[in-house]
Structure 1
């Protein structure tokens, strides 16, 4: 303190009023230096306090943020998979729409084949009827019919002993 007081005041002019002011001046100087020291301490430690607060915030919020990121990653994969499914479904529907022409061709071919099958069935039925009529006419002229009617023939004798295979 003497250095400050000697520096600020002329030490050669010490009188009784200076002695009274010296304790008061000491208090003022002490308060100023304490405030200055406290300010320097706050300024020096303020960045570390701020860093401590940031670190504390990160330590508290980081696990939640990491969990949210993992959840978002899973959701992103799900959405991506659903997007592929939708695009595949769209392409399948478009392919079905494009298959309209081949299906109409198939339909016309089926109609044509049904018509031809009906024609074949009618022809085979007509042939069956015709063959039945021919058999009836051949049975009426057969040797067994002639035997029953009483008209013998020489062919009947040779055919009657051996059965006829048809």
Structure 2
């Protein structure tokens, strides 16, 4: 053994504590001191043991760390995708709120178009009714005027150069058909 053991041997052989010593106690004390000195020798002379323990720890824990890292990266990608989707959705909602002016304009234009359509339909119905009334009361002289106006339709209108030409709204007149008693029933 080492130098520490010789000191122990000298102290054990000395008669200082003979009455308190027991053989079993002496054996256990010697065993403990041997182990302590051996451990001190290993620690002092083998620093690579610490590196071995570190390597062993890294080898055991590294695969779990790598797996956890991959899981965190996957979760991060999912969170980024969800964040992008929510930002896109909020921007779409904001743009819809901004477009309410356009929808209001469309609604106003549709109201105007419906009103114009009603006016056109009303004028068309009124003209149809006037045609029916005029055809019922048309006389022979009206038929002659109609034939005269149709013959003059092919002649060009002569107007002064500076005056604008306005189109003439000429509706063809319908000659009355034979009236019978059953005509109103059909």
- TM-score by length of structure 1 reads 0.59
Greater relative contact order structure (CA < 8 Å, 6+ sep): 2
Deviations 1:61-111 (A, max 9, x none): 111110111111111111111111111111111110001111111111111
- Deviation of 1:134 after TM superposition, in Å, equals 2.0
Q: Provide the residue aligned with 1:53 in structure 2.
A: 53
Runs of 5+ consecutive residues of structure 2 not aligned to the other structure: 4-8, 14-29, 141-174, 181-186
Runs of 5+ consecutive residues of structure 1 not aligned to the other structure: 5-23, 149-166
Q: Provide the residue aligned with 1:128 in structure 2.
A: 128
- Deviation of 1:144 after TM superposition, in Å, equals 7.5
Deviations 1:93-140 (A, max 9, x none): 1110001111111111111111111111111011111112222234x7
- Deviation of 1:33 after TM superposition, in Å, equals 10
Q: Provide the residue aligned with 1:102 in structure 2.
A: 102
Q: Higher helix fraction: Structure 1 or Structure 2?
A: 1
Aligned-residue CA RMSD in angstroms? Answer: 3.3
Q: Provide the residue aligned with 2:44 in structure 1.
A: 43
- Closer, same or farther in 2 for the Cα pair 1:42/1:80, shift >3 Å? same
Q: Distance in 1 between matches of 2:35 and 2:82?
A: 69
- Bigger-Rg structure (1/2): 1
Any runs of at least 4 consecutive aligned residues in structure 1 with deviations exceeding 4 A, and if so which?
31-38, 140-145
Q: Distance in 2 between matches of 1:36 and 1:143?
A: 140
Q: Provide the residue aligned with 2:114 in structure 1.
A: 114
DSSP 3-state at the match of 1:119? helix
Q: Provide the residue aligned with 1:155 in structure 2.
A: none
- Deviation of 1:56 after TM superposition, in Å, equals 1.3
Q: Distance in 1 between matches of 2:56 and 2:119?
A: 93
- Closer, same or farther in 2 for the Cα pair 1:133/1:59, shift >3 Å? same
The number of aligned residues is 119
- Deviation of 1:53 after TM superposition, in Å, equals 1.8
- Closer, same or farther in 2 for the Cα pair 1:117/1:34, shift >3 Å? closer
- Deviation of 1:42 after TM superposition, in Å, equals 2.7
- Closer, same or farther in 2 for the Cα pair 1:129/1:55, shift >3 Å? same
